[in-house]
Amino acid sequence: MASRRPMLATSDRLLLVKRVRQMNWSVKRAAESAGVSRMTVYKWLHRFDAEGPAGLADRSSRPVNSPRRTPADQVAAVLELRRRCWGPHRIGPALGIPRSTVYAILRREGESRLPR
């Protein structure tokens, strides 16, 4: 998900790049006019140079991969035991995983509450 309220809209970022590249504004002056830091201006300049106008679009902050995520077979085992009405304090030791991990899996899968 992109930032809920980015400091600059895509059109503002493009204007910032044009001011520095075409109108010969200094980075400091462009940063002050846009209300951002010089490092932010350099970030947008580098992205524009590398990717063109598409590089100025908002990006997701979601990681590309999650190498430490719980394996799918382990998640399935937790959910199977949960359907037998086992609680996290019993599931964790049975599968050899921490209770906190069991809680996280159940919450993520929408199984955190047992039916009455």
Mind listing the pLDDT tens digit for each residue in 22-76?
Answer: 999 999 999 999 899 999 999 999 999 999 999 999 888 888 888 888 999 999 9
* Residue 49 sits in the same domain as residue 76: no
Can you tell me the distance from the alpha carbon of 59 to that of 3, in angstroms, rounded to the nearest whole number? 8
- Does residue 89 belong to any structural domain of this protein? yes
Q: Are 41 and 8 in contact (CB under 8 A)?
A: no
Looking at residue 71, the DSSP 8-state letter turns out to be P
Enclosing domain of residue 80: 72-109
Can you tell me the distance from the alpha carbon of 21 to that of 12, in angstroms, rounded to the nearest whole number? 14
* Residue 14 sits in the same domain as residue 52: yes
Q: How many domains does the chain have?
A: 2
pTM over 0.85? The answer is no
Express each pLDDT in 20-35 by its tens digit: 999 999 999 999 998 9
* Residue 16 sits in the same domain as residue 46: yes
- Does residue 83 belong to any structural domain of this protein? yes
* Residue 47 sits in the same domain as residue 83: no
Q: Are 102 and 91 in contact (CB under 8 A)?
A: yes
- Does residue 3 belong to any structural domain of this protein? no
